[in-house]
Amino acid sequence: MLEDVCLRIAGRQIIDRVSLTVKQGDVAVFLGPSGAGKSTLLKIVLGLWRPTSGKVTIDGNDITSLDDEQMHDVRRRMGVVFQGNALFDSLTVQQNVGYFLQRRSAFPKEAIDRKVEEALAFVHLQGQGSLYPDELSGGMKKRVAIARAVVSNPDIILYDEPTTGLDPINARAILDLIRKLKARGTTSVVITHVLKDAFTIGDAFTLINEGTVIAAGSARSILSSQHPFVAEFMSDMLSQPPMPHAFALARQEAA
Ligand SMILES: Nc1ncnc2c1ncn2[C@@H]1O[C@H](COP(=O)(O)OP(=O)(O)O)[C@@H](O)[C@H]1O
Ligand SMILES: [Mg+2]
């Protein structure tokens, strides 16, 4: 949960009084154009940026007041899938997926190997552990990044633009994985500028522009917002027939 969070970098207000709440078990979508501040918000939640003012609480713990070691423990419960995947090119798929487990935990090697193989099976990459990132397609790399995020069984997974740059079939496979994790009870934060993907998987939405929250809530409440930016941001989608089913339904309800 964010409360009145501001972040200034080099005198520039990047995040301006953002308050939002992510409900446990939800797929929470942060929507907005490029440069809106979405990735920065994700880094604030991860504790990689400390807000200039405001509060960030995770399960009631204010993480802005934690020292590095305590932050480490909070971060352990979060998995993250970065936009560029952030895989280590010199490590195999298996080593990439097991990397943080190996560094952070006292698990014996066999236990780590088993968890890695389970995570790879979850993303449909079983038996591919000996490949290197260079040998993988974009969709496979994304799935390795997801396997690395889920391997430690986190409560929260954050995804930065998980479908950007993927073809529709691979993009759908990624959305299916996010859904499968939701079914397991994982809380998800998904950053995207792709409306269709947002409305396909999201339970709750926060529309961000220029570092501030423009609208927040259900698909219905976002769509019924009177803020002029909403119409502007949605206009591409509204003019693109055929409208995705979920979006059409949400609009109908909003009307
Ligand atoms: N490390 C940084 N130093 C200075 N400005 C930054 C830094 N990271 C991001 N910004 C600026 O913050 C704004 C929001 O960036 P970002 O959160 O990456 O947007 P989004 O993910 O929504 O595309 C942009 O104007 C960007 O230039
Ligand atoms: Mg970004």
Per-residue pLDDT of the chain (255 residues; tens, 9 = 90+): 788 889 999 899 999 999 999 999 999 999 999 999 999 999 999 988 999 999 999 988 898 888 888 888 888 899 999 999 999 999 999 999 999 888 877 788 899 999 999 999 999 999 999 999 999 999 999 999 999 999 999 999 999 999 999 999 999 999 999 999 999 999 999 999 998 899 999 999 999 999 999 999 999 898 888 889 998 888 866 665 555 566 666 767 776
Nearest ligand, measured from the Cα of 34: 1
CATH class of the structural domain 26-43+79-254: alpha beta
Q: Is 115 in the pocket of ligand 1 (CB under 6 A)?
A: no
Using a 6 Å cutoff on CB, does residue 38 contact ligand 1? yes
Nearest ligand, CA of residue 160? 2
Pocket of ligand 1, candidates 9, 14, 83: which has the most ligand atoms within 8 Å of its Cβ, to mutate? 14
For residue 236, the model assigns a pLDDT of 66
- Which runs of E-coded beta strand occur in the chain? 2-9, 12-20, 27-31, 53-58, 61-62, 78-81, 156-160, 187-192, 204-209, 212-217
What pLDDT score was predicted for residue 238?
Answer: 60
Q: Which ligand sits closest to the CA of 37?
A: 1
Ligand 1 contacts CB of residue 35 (under 6 A): yes
Q: What is the pLDDT of residue 14?
A: 94
pLDDT in tens, 121-160: 999 999 999 999 999 999 999 999 999 999 999 999 999 9
Tell me which DSSP letter residue 18 carries. Answer: E
Give yes or no for residue 48 CB within 6 A of ligand 1.
no
Annotate 219-230 with DSSP letters as a single string: HHHHHT---HHH
Residue 148, token pair as written in the block: 């690395």
Q: Using alpha carbons only, what angle is made at residue 99 by residues 179 and 69, rounded to the nearest 5 degrees?
A: 90
Residue with CA nearest ligand 1 atom 17: 37
Mutation test residue for ligand 1: of 12, 40, 43, 160, the one with most atoms within 8 Å of CB: 40
- CA dist 144 and 93 (Å) reads 7
| Domain parsing of the chain, residue ranges | 26-43+79-254
Name the residue at shortest CA distance from atom 16 of ligand 1: 37
| Residue 95: predicted pLDDT | 96
